Amino acid sequence: MNTFIETLQYFVLITMELIVLFMFISALVEIILMYVPEEKIRKRLSGAGMFGNVIAAGFGALTPFCACSTIPMTVGFLNAGVPFGSTMSFLIASPLLNPIIIGMLGAMVGVKAMVGTVV
């Protein structure tokens, strides 16, 4: 019974943390959209063909967001009129690649090993 109570407490704690994080990121996205014109976002991520997808995936790789934080950004992109393909490229790349994961990978396998496999 003690394990069940600890599990329930952990579940409630994580749920509250994620709700606060989701609300904070949603507010941050709305503030960004207030100051950055939608046309500018749309123009940057609407590159010809695959170029827009590559830019969106690169932006997703640079943002240190988890999957919970990526959803408000995705909704913001869709509301701004960013093409669906670019938005999905951001959505997939954001939680998979970020500076923290790349840094951890470099620390674990060494920077020389990472650069050697890329080149």
pLDDT the model gives residue 43 = 77
**What is the identity of the amino acid at 50?**
M
How many domains are contained in the chain?
Answer: 1
- Best-predicted range by mean pLDDT among 12-16, 22-26, 30-34, 35-39? 12-16
pLDDT the model gives residue 10 = 92
Q: Is 48 helix (H, G, I), strand (E, B) or coil?
A: coil
Residues 64-84 pLDDT 10s: 667 767 888 888 888 888 888
**What is the share, in percent, of the chain residues with pLDDT greater than 70?**
82
Measure Cα distances from 109 to 59, 112, 116, 117 in Å.
Answer: 24, 8, 11, 11
Regarding predicted confidence, which is higher, 22 or 6? 6
Q: Mean pLDDT, to the nearest integer, of 3-29?
A: 87
Which H or E run includes 5? helix 2-35
Residues 79-118 pLDDT 10s: 888 888 888 888 888 877 666 677 777 777 776 655 555 5
**What is the identity of the amino acid at 57?**
A
Q: Look at the chain and count its residues.
A: 119
DSSP string, 92-117: HHHHH--HHHHHHHHHHH-HHHHHHH
Q: Which residues span the domain enclosing 106?
A: 2-118
* Cβ(66)–Cβ(95) below 8 Å: yes
Q: Mean pLDDT, to the nearest integer, of 29-48?
A: 78
